[in-house]
Amino acid sequence: MKNRSKSIVVVGSINTDMTIKAEWLPRPGETILGGRFFTAQGGKGANQAVAAARLGAPVGMIAKVGCDALGNASVASLAHEGIDTTGIISDSVNPSGVAMILIDAQGENVIAVASGSNMALTAAEVAEKKEMLASADIVLMQLEIPIPAIVEAAREAKRGGATVILNPAPAPKEPLPAELLSLVDILIPNQTEAELICGVAVTDAQSARQAAEQIAAMGVGIVVITMGSKGVFTFDATTGQSEMIVAERVQAVDSTAAGDCFCGALAVALGRGDALAEAVRFANRAAAISVTRRGAQPSLPYLKELQ
Ligand code: RIB
């Protein structure tokens, strides 16, 4: 018998995505014409929060936006999704986060982010939200906010008994603090992020297992390595079991937020009691739908599309 959806608090970024879909990605110095421009709600944190909310979980968000029209629109949009926005702080100094995105005909993207207020979220501000963190069943985070804020959220989450899930994206420039990894229950890196964290180049199931074992030795309970078309590799440190789960095949239109969709969906599925492999299959299906549609949050599926 499955449990009801557990509550998820996302601590992370909120951006407005400004996107041009073009035939190809321009090289340095090249100008290309003929693209189509659109804006959408984005940011890895907000995307993961919306993915989880659309798939049926009660979701709250701790984040920081600027006192500007973009930030106001982002918060209103999250509230419209049914997300508790009382943990979102207004920043009177920095502007809201913006991402400039280029997408080619195959749906591949390049993204540059002006983090603005996202990178002004402090550990002290997160500590002020400790009641929200303590009441969560799952706390889900990424790396588009300062590391001290993430560490503080992980500490408070563990104090309250929540499961801590970290998606270490975008790939960290510095090694992650040992304390943070020791507080993480489930880590969801891609191949690049896994290599940056443990030093093992992940190319196949064998190297993924080596990397996952090294990451588990840092204190992480479950490692889920997303490997693009190769699939998703899972490792459970408690049982020592690992598995490679095949990827869904779809015609991609826009891969923006596919990873975020995967993380939000995985949190929902694990929260309602799915076994790890079953949860990964559910998250794969959700992410596969998201890449067939354009935009970050507009592409995220609803539960009824997965039933
Ligand atoms: O993961 C996709 C997201 O990364 C985009 O929505 C963009 O805002 C950047 O944060």
Mean pLDDT of 28-55: 97
Closest residue by Cα to atom 9, ligand 1, is: 43
Q: What percent of the chain has pLDDT over 90?
A: 95
Count the Cβ atoms, other than its own, within 10 Å of residue 2. Answer: 9
Would you say residue 282 has pLDDT above 90?
Answer: yes
Would you say residue 1 has pLDDT above 50?
Answer: no
The encoded tokens of residue 281 equal 């299959």
Is 274 a catalytic site residue? no
The encoded tokens of residue 191 equal 């191949």
**How confident is the prediction for the chain on average, in pLDDT?**
96
Q: Which atom of ligand 1 is nearest to the CA of 15?
A: 8
Report the chain's C-alpha Rg in angstroms: 18
Task: Show the ligand 1 pocket: residues with CB < 6 angstroms.
Answer: 13, 15, 17, 42-44, 47, 99, 111, 113, 144, 256-257, 259-260, 296
* β-pairing verdict for 97-103 and 109-114: antiparallel
Rounded to two decimals, the pTM is 0.97
Active-site residue among 84, 185, 236, 260? 260
DSSP H/E element including 96: none
Taking the centre of ligand 1 as the mean of its atom positions, its distance from the CA of residue 100, in whole angstroms, is: 9
Mean pLDDT of 128-142: 97
Mean pLDDT of 7-33: 97
Closest residue by Cα to atom 1, ligand 1, is: 257
Mean pLDDT of 63-67: 98
Taking the centre of ligand 1 as the mean of its atom positions, its distance from the CA of residue 227, in whole angstroms, is: 19
Mean pLDDT of 80-96: 98
Would you say residue 231 has pLDDT above 70?
Answer: yes
Taking the centre of ligand 1 as the mean of its atom positions, its distance from the CA of residue 64, in whole angstroms, is: 15
Test site for ligand 1: of 13, 20, 47, most ligand atoms within 8 A of the Cβ: 47
* Cα separation, 27 vs 19, whole angstroms: 17
pLDDT at 5: 80
